[in-house]
Structure 1
Amino acid sequence: MVKSYFTSLVMTYKRLITVFTLVSLLSACGFHLRGDYLLNDELQTLYVSSSDIHGELTRLVKQHLSHNQVKVLKHKNTQVPELRIMSDTLDRRTLSVFENGQVAEYELIYAVHYQLRFANEEPKSFHFELNRDYQDDPSLALAKSRELSLLLSEMRTSAADKILRDMARVQR
Structure 2
Amino acid sequence: MALATLCLLVTGCGFQLRGAPPVSSALQPLAVDCSDNVPGQLCDAVREQLELGRIQLKPAEEADYVLKIGNFRQERRASAITLRAAAAEYTLRHTVDIEVLTSDNIPLIEPTDLNSSETYRYDESNVLAKQREEEALREQLHDRLAQQIIFRLAPLDEGRIDRLRQEAKQARDESADPSS
TM-score by length of 1: 0.76
Matches within 5 A, 1:27-38: 27=14, 31-35=15-19, 37-38=21-22
Cα deviations across residues 49-75 of structure 1 (Å, max 9, x unaligned)? 111276211111111111211121135
- State the shift of 1:42 in Å: 2.1
**Aligned equivalent of 1:43, options 11, 27, 32:** 27
CA distance in 2, matches of 1:157, 1:49: 17
Provide structure 2 residue ranges, at least 5 long, that are not aligned to the other structure: 162-180
SS of 2:118's partner is strand
Provide structure 1 residue ranges, at least 5 long, that are not aligned to the other structure: 1-11
Match of 2:53 in 1: 68
Match of 1:142 in 2: 128
- Contact kept, 8 Å, 1:47 with 1:74, in 2: the verdict is yes
- Structure with more contact order per residue of length (Cα contacts < 8 Å, sep ≥ 6): 2
Q: Say which one has the larger Rg.
A: 1
1:92 counterpart letter in structure 2: R
Matches within 5 A, 1:119-138: 119-120=103-104, 121-122=106-107, 124=109, 125-138=111-124
- Contact kept, 8 Å, 1:44 with 1:69, in 2: the verdict is no
- Report the number of matched residues: 153
State the identity as a percent: 23
**Aligned equivalent of 2:87, options 103, 125, 150:** 103
Distance 1:64 1:19, change over 3 A: closer
Cα deviations across residues 107-133 of structure 1 (Å, max 9, x unaligned)? 211112111111331352222221211
CA distance in 2, matches of 1:150, 1:132: 11
Cα deviations across residues 21-76 of structure 1 (Å, max 9, x unaligned)? 55454x2xxx4323463222221321111112762111111111112111211352
2:33 counterpart letter in structure 1: S
Cα deviations across residues 141-167 of structure 1 (Å, max 9, x unaligned)? 000000000011011011111111110
CA RMSD of aligned residues (A): 2.4
TM-score by length of 2: 0.73
CA distance in 2, matches of 1:21, 1:54: 41
